[in-house]
Structure 1
């Protein structure tokens, strides 16, 4: 758990009742929405542990759907998230899962729209904070505490160097970086947490790099 200050424990400004089961859940939903890059047309949500046992009473289901609609933690529309999703044409299904996960407050989301798919596995670790364990099936994630680049690319010589060089030339400071690949010379993902949100010029430069397939910005700070 990476708590930064006392407000990380108290929790953010939010629609309750729980920073762990509501505010954290909103942020996990937003990560999935932003990884997809647009409002989902459909979403599948699987809950584990405490989330699966208490989601209705704590509003975790409403919070996750609200996050998929890109609501922030203090958005007064969260209690009406199901109705808002229906108005926007977003279909969703919520179900409990089985098995042991890294944290009791754990959710898995798969969202789809326009032929694209994004999947996220994450936990609400307290005080509205989250920890993302998997992005699009890759064993890599982020804290949700900093603006984050999620870059899908081929595993090729020089790709990582071109990514870090492009980020450096933009003046963006890298606070954390991780690369995960599914197989040698296959699909890979690089995650970069930075001190500020990347601008459109940097995003466009990254998208033009050889072997880079997709660039998403995750910013739920």
Structure 2
């Protein structure tokens, strides 16, 4: 049986009006920005379902921009995020889109960085401020952002998962959830580790040193009061 906490019932601390359309949107966008990394200069938000229909009236547009700028859902500056983005030289645009059989509160982020790199992230705000990331750069995956999370892209060969879990074990990092996604056998795959402890830069570098590892991203949870 699922256990519900006080924030599942009361909802998160946030700038209103809706936990799904503001708190969830800001949290989702902040994680998307973390995945993309620094020096973002252009973001197109492809809005699906109810996000597309109500994004202006419910403040979803401001929440999404706030998250990309690194703001938390309870940040008082959220309501002025569009102006702040303009001042920072971050171009933003919104477009209604049919993203297929996905949650009605779904957005795809098309992110461009100053170095020309492009990053795509898709995720959904699923209620009560909770979110789920479902795709990064075309790779299907799944994580909630509730735990410190490692996204590790690697060559799909035997023993890679064991090498990474051994590093985490040796450094006393407890794994709460782990999933592996791959495009096809023997090609590229993605490991998702949601852990009970934060992963230090030193541990991250040890994982990077594994020959089969292509890239690693560390996502810290967005929580009230932190």
Q: TM-score range by the shorter chain?
A: over 0.9
Q: How does 1:45-60 map to 2 (within 5 A)?
A: 45-60=45-60
Shift in Å, 1:50: 0.6
Distance in 1 between residues matched to 2:182 and 2:104, nearest whole Å? 27
TM-score by length of 2: 0.91
Partner deviation per Cα, 1:114-167 (whole Å, 9 max, x = no partner): 243332211111110111222222111201211111111222222211111111
Aligned to 1:75: 75
Query: What residue number does 2:84 align with?
Result: 84
* Counterpart contact for 1:9–1:126, Cα < 8 Å: no
> What is residue 152 of structure 2 aligned with on the other side?
151
Report runs of 4+ in structure 1 exceeding 4 Å deviation. none
Runs of 5+ unmatched residues, structure 2: none
Aligned 1:35-46 pairs, distance under 5 A: 35-46=35-46
Distance 1:3 1:79, change over 3 A: farther
Aligned partners of 1:3 and 1:9 also within 8 Å:
no
1:137 match = 138
From the superposition, tell whether residues 22 and 136 of structure 1 become closer, same or farther in structure 2 (CA, over 3 Å).
Answer: same
CA shift, 1:3, in A, is 6.9
Q: What is the CA distance between 1:185 and its match in structure 2?
A: 2.2
Task: Please give the alpha-carbon distance, in whole angstroms, between the structure 1 residues aligned to 2:197 and 2:16.
Answer: 28
User: Would the alpha carbon gap of residues 150 and 117 (structure 1) be closer, same or farther in structure 2, given more than 3 Å must change?
Assistant: farther
Distance apart, 1:93 and its partner CA: 1.8
* SS of equivalent residue, structure 2 residue 125: strand
Change (3 A) 1:151 1:22: same
Superposed counterparts of 1:47-126, under 5 Å: 47-98=47-98, 100-113=100-113, 114-126=115-127
